Homo-oligomer: A and B are copies of this chain.
Amino acid sequence: MRVLGVDPGLTRCGIGVVEGVAGRPLTMRAVGVVRTGADAEIADRLVLIEQGIEEWLDAYRPEAVAVERVFSQHNVRTVMGTAQASAVAMLCAARRGLPVALHTPSEVKAAVTGSGRAEKAQVGAMVTRLLRLDAPPRPADAADALALAICHIWRAPVQQRLDRLQQAHAKQAAGRSTAAAARADDSTRATKGTRR
């Protein structure tokens, strides 16, 4: 499974591609950052981010894209830009029919370090070890993007099982409501019948 992780941001959008399956050693395919200048208009920055992500998707053809889930509680000053950059990443992936997964920062930290409240440096150190790199990828956004991809590969089997359960449950519920609707329909017709 090849996953492209995106740590969204207007100034620096971290991108990392990791390949492998849960339970086996993982391999880093590429890591980098899409940058846009703070002096440019926000609309133009979003276009540059779109172009950058498209190039990464073309070059590495991932099977899934994992994006950091943005919370508005974070840093109020940067959160809007982060949300907007993440929208572009999700759009690029979904437009190609690629599955998009959102993972929260604490899910990612917990996956790679064992603690949802781990420090940045600890995440970088674990990414380095797990992908057998010589040094932690820089900047931190690049390391975070790799951590997201790793988190996604490890969570994927659990997530798939959850999705299957949910689908089965939704199908059952739909079956029940169709039956209920049919009953309601019958009774409406019956009522109309008596009124006619």
Chain B residues whose C-beta falls within 8 Å of the C-beta of A71 in the assembled complex: 80
Per-residue contact bits, chain A 103-142, to B (CB 8 Å; 1 contact, 0 not): 0000000000000000000000000000000000000000
Contact of A47 among B70, B73, B94 (CB under 8 A): B94
Counting chain A residues whose Cβ lies within 8 A of the other chain, the interface size class is 20 to 34
In the complex, the chain B residue whose C-beta lies closest to that of A67 is: B43
Q: Is A90 an interface residue (CB 8 A)?
A: yes
Chain B residues whose C-beta falls within 8 Å of the C-beta of A102 in the assembled complex: 42
One of A19-27, A81-89, A152-160, A183-191 at the interface:
A81-89
Q: Is A177 an interface residue (CB 8 A)?
A: no
Copy number in this complex? 2
CB distance from A130 to the nearest CB of B (A): 27
Chain B residues whose C-beta falls within 8 Å of the C-beta of A76 in the assembled complex: 72-73
Contact across chains for B80 and A50 when beta carbons are under 8 A apart: no
Chain B residues whose C-beta falls within 8 Å of the C-beta of A50 in the assembled complex: 91, 95
Contact across chains for A46 and B80 when beta carbons are under 8 A apart: no
Per-residue contact bits, chain A 25-56, to B (CB 8 Å; 1 contact, 0 not): 00000000000000001111011001000000
Contact of A94 among B44, B85, B86, B87 (CB under 8 A): B44
